[in-house]
Homo-oligomer: A and B are copies of this chain.
Amino acid sequence: MVLVRMTITAENSEGYASPAGLVVDPVVMTVKAGELQVLLIRSGDRHSLPGGFVLPDQSPEEAVYSHLESKTGVRGIYLEQLKTYATPGRDERGWIPSIAYIGLVESSKLLAGDGEWFSEIPETAYGHDEIITDAIERIRGKVWTSNVVRPLVPEEFTLGELRRVIEAIVGTELDPSNFTRDFPNAGLVRKTGNKRRFGNGRPGAAYRFLSADPMWAPTRR
């Protein structure tokens, strides 16, 4: 039995074969039910990242925000370039490099019905499972020294609230007292002066992230 596939091809004005297209794929993650989850859309009988083709004269950033919004309703988030995947055969449609991006968003920001959150990665199209694995690794590395998790907590939050989110991302439990002592020293958050209740226990001091824009903790050598 022979497997037949339709592949797209392309040729440039000099007569050489060229990529059939350029796609962008956002790996958008959230923390929901105490777990790190990834935003995927249905793609035939499998699932895929909510990306798509870049148009001529469009920057990859424009394209990735546009596909993400039209397919899932997620907008106004920060996406950072992760890596480009262009191994031959990765995309069965043809020679189509994919530039992957990462971002975090509150799970409630999902508006359109096409997107769904997954904590276990289902079968994916276009080799998207490798991209997701890389994305999780990258996000884990940035949690301690940058304000990446900001979109996952309210404007004001307690340190316990923040700790639960970080625990979900890194996948391990953290000592609450050490976390309260140490995290504020990273220079990413400040006390607001307000109190805030999280769960049933004693209300705690409310904190804010210093900046809504991407920011690294000071004093990394």
Known: A84-B84, A86-B54, A144-B221. Contact between A19 and B17, CB under 8 A? Answer: no
Starting from the known contacts A12-B21, A60-B87, A144-B221, 12 additional A-B residue pairs (CB-CB under 8 Å) come to A8-B13, A8-B14, A10-B10, A11-B11, A17-B55, A19-B19, A19-B21, A56-B88, A57-B88, A59-B86, A81-B83, A84-B97
Nearest B residue to A6 via CB reads: B13
Query: Does chain B have a CB within 8 A of A152?
Result: no
- Chain B proximity of A62: nearest CB distance (Å): 9
Residues facing B in A45-84 (CB within 8 A) are 53-60, 81, 83-84
Complex CA distance for A13 and B87, rounded to whole angstroms? 20
A20 within 8 A of B: yes
* A83 contact set on B, CB distance < 8 A: 81
A99 on interface, CB distance cutoff 8 Å? yes
Q: Which of B53, B54, B88 contacts A59 (CB 8 A)?
A: B88
| Interchain CB contact under 8 A, B9 and A13 | yes
Query: Is A22's CB within 8 Å of the partner chain B?
Result: yes
Whether A99 lies near B81 (C-beta < 8 A) is: no
Pull 29 A–B residue pairs with CB atoms less than 8 Å apart, ordered by A.
A8-B14, A9-B12, A9-B13, A10-B11, A10-B12, A10-B13, A10-B19, A12-B94, A13-B20, A16-B21, A17-B55, A17-B56, A18-B19, A18-B22, A19-B21, A22-B97, A54-B86, A57-B95, A58-B88, A59-B86, A59-B87, A59-B88, A60-B87, A81-B83, A81-B84, A84-B84, A84-B97, A97-B97, A97-B99
